[in-house]
Amino acid sequence: MSRILLHLRGIGLTFGGRPILENAELAVAEGERVALVGRNGSGKSTLLKIAAGMIEADKGERWVQPGTTIRYLPQEPDLSAYATVLDYVEAGLGPADDPHRCTYLLRELGLTGEEDPKRLSGGEIRRAAIARTLAPQPDVLLLDEPTNHLDLPAIEWLEAELKSLRSAFVLISHDRRFLQSLTNRTVWLDRGESRRLERGFADFESWRDEVLAKEEAEQALLAKRIEAEEHWMRYGVTARRKRNMRRVDLLASLRKERKEHVGQQGAVRMAATSGDISGKLVAEAKAMSKSFSDRPIVSNLDLLVMRGDRLGIVGPNGAGKTTLIKLLTGALEPDSGVIRLGTNLQTVTLDQSRQSLDPNATLADVITDGRGNSVTVNGETKHVISYMKDFLFPPDKARTPVSVLSGGERGRLILARELAKPSNLLILDEPTNDLDLETLDMLQEMLADYPGTILLVSHDRDFLDRVATSVLMADGDGEWTEYAGGYSDMVAQRGQGVEARKVKAEVAKATPSSAPPPQAPQAQRKLSFKEKHALETLPGTMKTLENEIGTLEAKLADASLFSRDPKAFDSAASRLTTAREELAKAEEQWLELEMKREMLEG
C-alpha cells in the first residue's frame, strides 16, 4: 500500500455564516494524481488552500508526512516583489534543488527569465508561476486551474511534463482532456462533503450519475415510507383509540430526514434565441490575405462556411485567431482577395473576456439591458428572476452588482445575456473559461440543438471535439489549413497538435537581456478605455485612409496633371506619402493592441 503524504480529515469551514465545507476529506498517497472536482462555489480552491497550509479550517485535521515537500500553484500569482521572472522562480527552490531546472522550465514555457514581472501578460504570469511550482520537483503538487491563460502548445507541454514527474498531485481544472489524461483518483466536493472514487476522471461522470440516481431513488422510497406512515396515523389507530408512540416518533424522524436532505443543485437550462434563417452561404473567402507591418496574419486563404457549420479555429496565442474572425465577419477588410458574406446574418458574440460587463450594474440590469423585468427567449417571455434560475442564480442575487461575482458566475451571466439575443451566427471566443463541468455539458447540448452557424475559438480540446465539425488551424506565416472533424481528428490527420509560434522564440533570442520584451503588455489585466476605443475605431480609420490612397493614386495616374496643375500634383503626391505613413502607423498600432488584447485574455 502506498504511503500517505497528505491527509485532511473532517474539514469544516464557514464564510459569512454560510458553510463552505462540512466534514470534507482529502488524502494523497505516493503516485496518486487526484482530480478535485465540483461545481463553482463548492469549495475546491478553499480545500486546496487548506491542504497547502494557507488557510486554517474551523474544524478538522491537516496531517503531512514528515519530510514531505509541498508546492501550491495559485490562480493569481504575485510577482511584484521580484526584479525578474528568474528571481521569482528561483525563490521557490529549496537548498538542495537544482537552479538549472528553473532556466529549463522557463525556456520550455517561452520565457527567458530576464522579463520584468511588471510587464507580463496574464498568460506569461501563469507560465512563470508554473515554472516556480515545478522547479523543486516536490513530493506533492497542488495545482489550481494550471491551464488558465495557456494556449494549446503550452497546455500539451504541461500535460507531458506532469506525466513525466514522480510527484503526486491534486489537480483542479475545467479541461476534461487534461483531467482524463493525468488523473488516477477523483475527489468530488458536493454540498460541502467529499466523495472519493479510486479511479481517474475518465470514470467520474458515469459514477457521479450513478450516485445521484441512487440518491434520487432513496428519496423517492423515503417519500413512500412517509406516505405509508401518514396513512397509518390517520386510519390505523381508530380500533384501539390509542396511538402507537413508536410509530409517531418514526414518522417524525422520517419527516426530519427528508426536510434536512440537501438536494443536488439544480441544472443549468440553456436555450439560444434563434434568429431568422440565414442564407445557405455564410462566408466565402477567396485568396484572402491580411498583414500588419510586414507580418502575415492570413495568406491566400480559400475558405467556405455554410449554414449549420461549426468551425473551430485553433492556434497559439498571437497567431491571429481574432483577426481571422474579424475578416470572416466583415469587421475588417482584407489586403487582397475577396470575402463574401451571406444574406440575413444575425451575429451574437460571446465575449468571454467579460470586459463588456459593467462592474456596477446588477445581474437583472445586465440580462434585461436595464429595460424592465422580463426577457424574451425564442418567443417566450419570462420574468428575469425565472430566467436567472435557469443559469443557477438565486432570486436574492438579482440586485447583486457584477463586481462581487466569481469568474464562473460572470461566465454564466455572459451566457444568459447573449443567448437571449436572436442570432443565426454565434461567435464563441474561449467560451469555456471558468465554467464548471456541468455548465459546460449544458452549453454543449445547447450548441448541438442550435440551428445556426458557429465560429469557435478555443484551447479546450474536449470542447472542440464535442462541438466542431471542422477545425481551421494556424500553420504559421499566415498559413491556415482546414481539417474535417474535431481536434482529435485534426491531430490524427496532421500527425501532431498545435505548435508554439516560432516567431516569438526568435524575437526573445534577438532581444537584449536588459531590454523589455517587444510589444509586452503593461501591468494591467485588461485594455484601458483609451486602448479599447482605439482598437474599435482604428479599422474605420484604416479603411478611410485606404480609400483616400486609392483616390490619390488614381488622381496622380493622370499624366496631364503635372503639366496642367503642378501645385495640385505636388499637393496630391505629398498627401499620398503622408497617407501611406499614417496607414502603416495605424496598422502597426492596431496590431499591437490586438496582440495585447489576445495576450491579456489568453
Compute, in degrees rounded to 10, the torsion defined by CA atoms 502, 505, 511, 515.
120
Q: Is 403 annotated as a binding residue?
A: no
87 within some domain: no
Boundary residue ending a domain (164, 187, 206): 206
Q: Is 540 annotated as a binding residue?
A: no
User: In this predicted model, what pLDDT tens digit does every residue of 389-408 receive, in sequence order?
Assistant: 888 787 878 888 888 777 77
Using DSSP's 3-state secondary structure scheme, residue 36 falls into strand
568 and 438 inside one domain: no
Q: Is 596 annotated as a binding residue?
A: no
539 and 489 inside one domain: no
516 within some domain: no
543 and 477 inside one domain: no
We report the CATH number of the domain holding residue 375 as: 3.40.50.300
536 and 445 inside one domain: no
Angle formed at CA 516 by CA 512 and CA 518, multiple of 5 degrees:
95
Q: Is 424 annotated as a binding residue?
A: no
Q: Is 45 annotated as a binding residue?
A: yes
167 and 308 inside one domain: no
Q: Is 379 annotated as a binding residue?
A: no
We report the CATH number of the domain holding residue 537 as: 1.10.287.380
Residue numbers in the chain where pLDDT is lower than 70: 1, 16, 222, 225-276, 351-356, 500-526, 529, 595, 598-602
How many domains is the chain partitioned into structurally?
Answer: 3
Q: Is 31 annotated as a binding residue?
A: no
557 and 483 inside one domain: no
Instruction: Identify the residue whose cell numbers are 451571466.
Output: 413
Range of the domain at 27: 4-69+138-206
Q: Which of 129, 11, 9, 128 is nearest to 59 (CA)?
A: 11
490 and 535 inside one domain: no
Q: Is 286 annotated as a binding residue?
A: no
559 within some domain: yes
Compute, in degrees rounded to 10, the torsion defined by CA atoms 465, 467, 472, 474.
-60
Boundary residue ending a domain (494, 515, 537): 494
10 within some domain: yes
User: In this predicted model, what pLDDT tens digit does every residue of 458-500 receive, in sequence order?
Assistant: 889 999 998 899 999 998 889 999 999 899 999 988 887 777 6
Q: Which of 172, 169, 205, 174 is nearest to 184 (CA)?
A: 169
Q: Is 40 annotated as a binding residue?
A: yes
178 within some domain: yes
Compute, in degrees rounded to 10, the torsion defined by CA atoms 343, 463, 208, 58.
-110
Long-range contact pairs involving 410-415 (C-beta distance under 8 Å, separation at least 24): 410/354, 410/357, 410/434, 411/352, 411/354, 411/435, 411/439, 412/268, 412/439, 413/357, 413/363, 413/366, 413/367, 414/350, 414/351, 414/352, 414/354, 414/356, 414/357, 415/270, 415/350, 415/391, 415/443
331 and 433 inside one domain: yes
485 and 552 inside one domain: no
Between strands 470-476 and 479-484, the pairing is: antiparallel
357 HSE (CA, 13 A, CB side): 28
Q: Is 398 annotated as a binding residue?
A: no
Measured distance CA(281)–CA(73) in Å, rounded: 47
What does the block give as the cell for 163? 506525466
Interacting residues of 496 by C-beta distance below 8 A, sequence separation 6+:
none
What does the block give as the cell for 588? 502597426
Angle formed at CA 11 by CA 5 and CA 15, multiple of 5 degrees:
135
Q: Is 317 annotated as a binding residue?
A: yes
357 within some domain: yes
* Other Cβ atoms within 10 Å of 510 Cβ, number: 8
85 within some domain: no
What does the block give as the cell for 33? 494524481
434 and 483 inside one domain: yes
311 and 389 inside one domain: yes
DSSP state of 322: H
297 and 394 inside one domain: yes
Boundary residue ending a domain (158, 181, 206): 206
* Other Cβ atoms within 10 Å of 347 Cβ, number: 19
Give pLDDT, residue 64. 96
Q: Is 411 annotated as a binding residue?
A: no
What does the block give as the cell for 149? 491563460
158 within some domain: yes
